[in-house]
Structure 1
């Protein structure tokens, strides 16, 4: 019978979430078992705790240490519920309740914090003690006891999260008030010479303090008698003494913990500035030195202690700085940049959405959105100047700046996220904002929030699911909150004249406010952006309706791109080019990844917008990621080019084919699906396909004109040899196609006729690709590397090339042949020429005299080909440490060692670098410096093209253009100086390696060829 009862007791303890053995032992020690049975009321309360074992420890410790108090309070079910709720969530507060009877007894009443009452208790406690450590402990004890009361009301549903945050703020306000009052009296007695005030900032100022949070403050003082001798100096000294002592008391670590971490670093000049200033000194600083974030911080400023009238005086002076007549776009850009820097911090990136404060869809997103709307509209509407997030959100909704359902959804998300934050901090009274990744801790967190395990899933599953939904909703609302009123203003006002009701937020949104809102969101020209929005959304067509659904997300996505203004303009042009069809818009509405890609490419490159408008079929690559998820091979592209040539004029067909395929390559590039090397290979394959298509089409045409059945019957065969970047698989977006034409006369054919035909074919191939039309060219084809350059025949026979090379060729021509590769036409013929060229490119003997010739030629090119108006240091191709330094270093290695080392005979620069390193001809560090520099500078040139810069070889000096370039390269806002620093670093490292390997200079020496 006893055994059966024991099993029953253990089962009930286990059902309550307790370890049966440990629970029995603790209950017995505390004399809380009756006839070896636990109190059912106790078990029921414990089973509802987030962590039943922690709650049990508190109960048994309290019953053991203070049995009389336990007997007195235990019958009170409400008191028991509160004690268990607090101890089951917070171990530190559970320990406090177990060891301090007054704190446990206080849970009986749970009166809200009254600032005056608590301030009086703090002041009396401080004045009653002489020892500084005991003073600090007394204040900490008052603060922690009141915190336990607030937590009890919070955890038992007697106060919602907004009330809890406000009470925590009132508690801090009361502690500051009592401390300043007592310390001021201790230091100055009954005749103070200074008026003192404390300004609450951050969450304290916003009535939204956390359980564990820095208490941000700013101190201000004024003389009591400004006309007295040395009044300012004596008031300053007294303020410094009082506030320093207050910080010592409140920040001190004691046996009761610390009262608060009071942080005064939001003051002018931060830690380097005086602890307190008079009002005039604040104003002087704001006028000359203050940064944007300091004015943004003042959005939450309010007097919290000391002389409240003095605090109000300071804030009245601050109004013209916080709420200027005109909101400077640079101010908004700085705020956005600061937020971007916070989001880019490693700990935020590492934790992602588990970081509920700074992560995506987190608390900061809501606060940031509300504050930006305050900055835009609060200058003209004083009702928006409340320091609290939720009150401001209510005012935005009441006054028509935010739709009611959006404001309610944002507020609900904010309350949930703040509640989760409170529970995380209560656990150990530590400042944290990160959801634990440990399943057991997630389960505890879920239970503390009221979730309970279901039949087939733990409590944490439902919690994580709901949290994810809330964070997703926050991200969606961020876009909707800013853009919906804009769209409804200009979409529905014309309809209003016909009797259609106009949303209140639309009525509020005039042109000036709408323009400023767009500027706040990152558009430099709010007027132009508003014009685009108005044009796209006006009317009642299906397209306009779909646009009103799509635009909020598109505008939100565009604001994160390097150039939102250009992106929006390109989007409008694309929409206009689509006509009345809404297929693209419907796809963007239903497929967010497509919207993200389109916004990214349009906001990065004007070129992309032009390509999409001129190539409507390119829209398919936005709709179907499988069409762009892999590069196309040369053979694929040749087949596609030839298919077009069956039904279009050669020039038109190849031009349109090239532009369409270029669009695909750019989309892959900007989507991050290809590297700069991969882009070079794809552009090379496209160039080869166009050359092949043009050559085949021309040979077919010549055969038809001669009445032949096939080009094979022509008296001549032709091959095209790629040179330069075409030969090296290294084309960039603006590269010419450097080529050589070689031909061979058929046996028995008329040699003069055949040579003439070869020249005609070569000329027509070049014209079909290079002719300028209304839509531009396909490729610029350059044959100037042929023997005798522009003075020589466009095509030669194989023997003619050999004869010229044997008699007349210059060293640079042998160097150029390092890149020779067959790209089109008769491959056997072309390969014979390439093989012959290799014998000259990779000579058996290459001496110092040969190297000196190449060095002199490189120096001459650097001197002569960089325009006088251009700073050589900013020339990406020919400047010191530029792309040509890498190429010439590699080519000198090829000519010097290529005869002995076959791994150096590739036309591709990066492949040769790898081969030289493998062969021991190049140190790993040197190879890596050349590789990194070459890729970085090549990527810069490509990005300059996509930004439609006139000269892609020169880094612009305009900071605005540099900022666009930096953003397109992946730098955060304001990253143009980081870009410049990294560019200089790469060029410096490349030049150092170049000087040693090309010129043979020792470390510390450098070339001076400018």
Structure 2
């Protein structure tokens, strides 16, 4: 023999036993030896060849036939044992096998095998012919250059072969049953394939799930037909699976019939339909999804399918249907023996059942209204779901690839011994053979790695799709809800809360019209989203904003996938759009921000100030053009304000966190702008922005002004030029921060001398002014002064100067009276004409200013000796005053609650209207919108009003007693 006689050559061919096989291989024809390289197990193939002896010689003389024989022997010891037992069956592999046989050809072949035979002789003939055909299917399968692509065709052919076997067995049964031949002839019996047989995706060795349906021809009573049909079914099953000289093929499992094992084996069509109408459980309809006439009377089988189909495709509308399917899948997983979980190809996490249950659930939910997805087979159904937009094309392709790989592994494992199993082998040698059998993997380790990767991917996608909340929502919709263009649609839209149903219909038509993928997916999404829009305070605007957003994003894959697949994104989007015109307007400028809704925890939380400052610095440094850089900075601010708005509406951030977040965004914007306008080294002076008011206290709301004062300090520039340069920086800040889309008012009204004072001063000028001219209100204003932006040393020095003014060692009684006088004057003069003092959120009774002025008076009086009061935060100062005994805890709670409610309501007004407002509305629609943003249930406008008036009334009582009454004193 040539070089293949060497041990290394044998190893390259795939042999494991080298020394022992060397002489045996040498005895073979030289042209046959290279063929072992294609065998899954060359050692086993060689063993079986020797056992076949001279019976194999005719095939080995033909290289093509020899290749088929060696591949089959190396892939399946079960078929090899069959050939040893029945050597004449080798004839099946002699002829070329260029294609798989058709269903009709298989039916004819098995019918021919049992022609004229009865009893056990017929059974044996049937089983022999079945295995001959199985060997030919195997020979075709193991020679395919792309084994994954062949999985579908092989599974379909195996299902056709099972159907042919049942047809042949039924023909034998008609001869064997002991009833008058005329009566037997009048009995129509349909065998309905279920499970993998019904879906044409059968394994090499699998139970064949069936349901038997009987019908009497004219002249035969139904009872008699059922009696004969039952005996025919029993004989059919025996021909396939009872003991005989030739082993059984597989189990015919009829347990999916009505009432399972306790039910009648055979029923009439009417009895079946009556059962499904009255008694069937959800899982039975899921099983019927794969029903197909498999054998017997095809007309009766078709009528059975036509009768059950409407029940199958309406079953998802049952109460808790989706949840019941999900629980059933979980029960299947829970009942896997512990030592099998990690090696289960079929039932385990990331196994075939995860794919199949996912696709079946999607089909049952969406197939109610879309006949295109009503396919029995897993992969055809997956294609239809992807085409219909119910699952992304990428996800569908991944699922299909992973499913085919799992099925290929299952096929090769079962083919090995022709035994029904779904367990990956644990023996390393068996894994090596399996890797070779796939025709894909070069080693056992590569196979195991790919399998684990596949399991993880399948499980992940299963969990994302199978537990998709959209499924429950779609399943629960009444039929008329999906008829988006029906005559009743306008009435339904009006009934669920749309003020302009005709306008809503126009938006729906624009979103769903055409044949684009976006329109296809929107037709699925909108019925559910309309329900969610209707739960908001302004569904009409929500739908309009959704249409604008969808048009802006076009066919963006991520957007459509997110709405369809995300655990909560679609609902959250509907929620925020129907709740806030402020958010809708910002989405028009930043539509990509919708992606944040897919991950609440990460994306809707405020970004740290450090990250915002780094981004601003990067923007300022990479732009040569100041105006272009300023535009980028303003865009970044809009983005972060939108993030905060989404977080606020969805409850991801508290009002305190919101205040800090909006203050940080303002600081980042001003830092970037100042970097564009001021170069300390070249300008010759330091520049700083001091945050005042709510900005200084990190208590900004949506629409709040940013109170600031500006300060500079000369370094090496001439004194006479610095003031002008610093003022130029201020003017530049005002110009560059101007944003018509999201206004920012840099209010300098709290500077020394107010509106009459210089727009910026040097630090020395501030020091001189405060020492000589400072009024009590200016000291009070400094209580919330915080160095925010600019040169760090200058910021620290200004805060040190502010401390000297705002935390006096003692405050004269005249100054206290002045604070009270000014507060009274503010209430009488600054409150807008005609405004109801009880409803003004900022200046009204018991509102923000009452709490803030009271706390600030306590700070002026006591902060010098109580360091905890030295904070720019109203709530922190109130808490410190309570801890120090300056305010009783119950009264502090009233003040705290009023401040929180007024702050939340003020921001909610801006979110609702996209306009800044300070008065709690009397209009019930607006009040309802604010209430919903404050997390009140629907119809709570009056409840919010009552709560606000009561809360602020109680706070005002505390304020009147503590602020205008006797001065607060430390508790003793």
Bucket of the pairwise TM-score, normalised by the shorter protein:
0.5 to 0.7
What SS class does the counterpart of residue 558 from structure 1 fall into?
Answer: coil
State how many pairs are aligned.
646
Q: Secondary structure of the equivalent of 2:43?
A: helix
Aligned to 2:666: none
Give the equivalent residue in structure 2 for 1:105.
91
Cα–Cα, structure 1 residues 948 and 767, in superposed 2: closer, same or farther, change >3 Å?
closer
Match of 2:48 among 35, 58, 61: 58
Q: Distance in 1 between matches of 2:335 and 2:603?
A: 27
Q: Aligned match of 1:504 in 491, 513, 516?
A: 516
Residues 185 and 411 of structure 1: CA distance in aligned 2, closer, same or farther (over 3 Å) = same
Match of 1:221 among 214, 220, 223: 214
Secondary structure at the aligned position of 1:259 is classed as coil
Counterpart for residue 146 of structure 1: 133
Residue in structure 2 matched with residue 312 of structure 1 by the alignment: 302
**Take 1:333 and 1:271, find their aligned partners in 2: how far apart are those partners?**
26
1:305 to partner: Cα distance: 1.6
Per-residue CA shift, 1:321-373, capped at 9, x if unaligned?
12449945644443344344445555599746x65545566544544454455
Do the aligned partners of 1:537 and 1:548 also contact (CA within 8 Å) in 2? no
CA contact (8 A) 2:289 2:376 kept: yes
Q: Is the 8 A contact 1:223 1:235 kept in 2?
A: yes
Cα separation, partners in 2 of 1:162 and 1:10, compared to 1, 3 Å: same
Change (3 A) 1:760 1:577: same
Structure 1 pair 74–477 and aligned structure 2 pair: CA distance change class (3 A) = farther
Q: Does 1:610 align with 2:651?
A: yes
**Taking structure 1 as the reference length, what is the TM-score of the superposition?**
0.53
Q: Does 1:558 align with 2:530?
A: no
Structure with bigger gyration radius: 2
Question: By how many angstroms is 1:50 displaced?
Answer: 2.0
CA contact (8 A) 1:369 1:478 kept: yes
2:596–2:603 Cα contact (<8 Å) kept: yes
Displacement of 1:292: 2.3
1:103/1:148 contact within 8 Å kept: no
Aligned to 2:56: 70
C-alpha deviation, 1:318, in angstroms = 1.8
SS where residue 196 of structure 1 aligns? strand
When residues 618 and 415 of structure 1 are mapped into structure 2, their CA distance, relative to the original with a 3 A threshold, is farther
2:575 to 546, 569, 575: 569
C-alpha displacement of 1:103: 2.9
Distance (whole Å) between structure 1 residues aligned to residue 937 and residue 336 of structure 2: 34
Partners in 2 of 1:11 and 1:577 — Cα distance?
A: 72
1:202 is aligned to 2:195: yes
Any conservation in 1 of the 2:540–2:578 contact (CA below 8 Å)? Answer: no
Judged with a 3 Å threshold, the aligned counterparts in structure 2 of structure 1 residues 245 and 707 are, in CA distance, closer, same or farther, namely closer
Task: Give the distance between the partners of 1:57 and 1:143, measured in 2 at CA.
Answer: 25
1:175-205 Cα distance to aligned partner (Å, 9 max, x none): 1011111112211352215221111111111
Instruction: Provide closer, same or farther for how the CA distance between residues 90 and 569 of structure 1 changes in structure 2, counting only shifts above 3 A.
Output: farther
Q: CA deviation at 1:769?
A: 4.7
Report deviation, 1:554: 6.2
In 2, Cα distance between equivalents of 1:104 and 1:53: 20
- In 1, the alpha carbon distance for the partners of 2:507 and 2:19 equals 73
**1:774 matches 2:901:** yes
TM-score of the superposed pair, with normalisation by structure 2: 0.54
For the Cα contact (< 8 Å) 1:11–1:20, is it kept in 2? no
Query: Are residues 1:16 and 2:17 paired?
Result: no
Distance in 2 between residues matched to 1:425 and 1:378, nearest whole Å? 33
Corresponding residue of 1:190: 181
Give a deviation string over 1:724-769, Cα, whole Å, max 9, x none. xxxxxxxxxxxxx9xxx99xxxxxxxxxxxxxx9574555555455
Please show how residues 685-700 of structure 1 align to structure 2 within 5 Å. Answer: none
Give, in angstroms, the shift of residue 56 of structure 1: 1.8
Alignment check: 8 A CA contact 1:86 1:155 kept:
yes
Provide the C-alpha distance between the structure 1 equivalents of 2:660 and 2:903, rounded to a whole number of angstroms.
21
1:246, distance to aligned residue in structure 2 (A)? 2.3
Cα offset, 1:11, TM superposition: 2.9
Q: Report the counterpart of residue 848 of structure 1 in structure 2.
A: none
Asked if 1:156 corresponds to 2:146, the answer is: no
Q: 1:174 to 1:566 in 2, by over 3 A?
A: same
| 1:544 to 1:395, Cα distance in 2 relative to 1, 3 A | closer
Task: Tell me the residue number matched to 1:242.
Answer: 232
Q: CA deviation at 1:319?
A: 3.0
Q: Residues 367-406 of structure 1: matches in 2 within 5 Å?
A: 367-372=356-361, 374-375=363-364, 378=367, 382=371, 384-394=373-383
Relative to structure 1, the CA distance from residue 764 to residue 360 in structure 2 (aligned partners, 3 Å threshold; closer, same or farther) is same
Task: Please state if 1:429 is matched with 2:418.
Answer: yes
CA–CA distance in structure 2, aligned partners of residues 618 and 139 of structure 1: 81
**Considering only aligned residues, what root-mean-square deviation do their CA atoms show, in Å?**
5.8
State the secondary structure of the residue aligned to 1:610: coil
Corresponding residue for 1:284? 274
**1:616 and 1:349 mapped to 2: Cα distance?**
49
Tell me the CA shift for residue 266 of structure 1: 1.1
Q: Distance in 1 between matches of 2:660 and 2:79?
A: 61
2:223 is aligned, of 233, 242, 249, to: 233
Deviation at 1:44, TM superposition (A): 1.5
Matched, 1:294 2:284: yes
Q: Which residue of 1 aligns with 2:442?
A: 453
Select the residue among 79, 82, 92 that pairs with 2:65. Answer: 79
Matches within 5 A, 1:590-669: 594=602, 609-612=650-653, 614=655
For residues 947 and 239 of structure 1, what CA distance do their matches in structure 2 show? 64
Q: Distance in 1 between matches of 2:419 and 2:88?
A: 24
Contact 2:117–2:172 at 8 Å: present in 1 too? no
What secondary structure is seen at the aligned counterpart in 2 of 1:240?
A: helix
Query: Is contact 1:13–1:43 with CA below 8 Å preserved after alignment?
Result: no
Match status 1:415 vs 2:404: yes
2: CA distance, partners of 1:478 / 1:447: 33
What is the CA distance between 1:165 and its match in structure 2? 0.9
Change (3 A) 1:710 1:699: farther
Say if 1:502 and 1:197 are closer, same or farther in 2 by CA, change over 3 A.
closer
Give the gaps of 5 or more residues in structure 2.
Answer: 475-483, 486-504, 607-642, 662-690, 702-852, 870-878, 905-933, 939-972
Contact 1:140 1:258 in 2 (8 A): yes
Deviation for aligned residue 1:431: 3.4
Is 1:43 the counterpart of 2:33 in the alignment?
yes
Where structure 1 has 5 or more consecutive residues not aligned to the other structure, the ranges are 621-645, 657-696, 714-736, 743-756, 778-945, 951-1010
**Correspondent of 1:33 among 26, 30, 35:** 26
Does structure 1 retain, via aligned residues, the 8 Å contact 2:114–2:126? yes
Q: Who is 2:861 aligned against?
A: 705
Answer whether contact 1:374 1:384 (CA < 8 A) is retained. Answer: yes
Matches within 5 A, 1:870-885: none
Tell me the distance in 1 between the aligned counterparts of 2:555 and 2:658: 21
Quick one: distance in 2 between partners of 1:86 and 1:243? 34
Map of 1:819 onto structure 2 = none
- String of CA shifts for 1:142-200, please: whole Å, max 9, x gaps: 33332222111111018822211111011100110111111122113522152211111
d(CA) in 2 for partners of 1:20, 1:948:
77
* Mapping of residues 754-903 of structure 1, within 5 Å: 758=885, 760=887, 762=889, 765-767=892-894, 769=896, 773-774=900-901
Cα–Cα, structure 1 residues 647 and 339, in superposed 2: closer, same or farther, change >3 Å?
Answer: farther
Question: Are residues 421 and 767 of structure 1, via their aligned partners in 2, closer, same or farther at CA, if it must alter by over 3 Å?
Answer: same
SS at match of 1:41: coil
Q: Give the conservation status (yes or no) of the 8 Å contact 2:553–2:591.
A: no
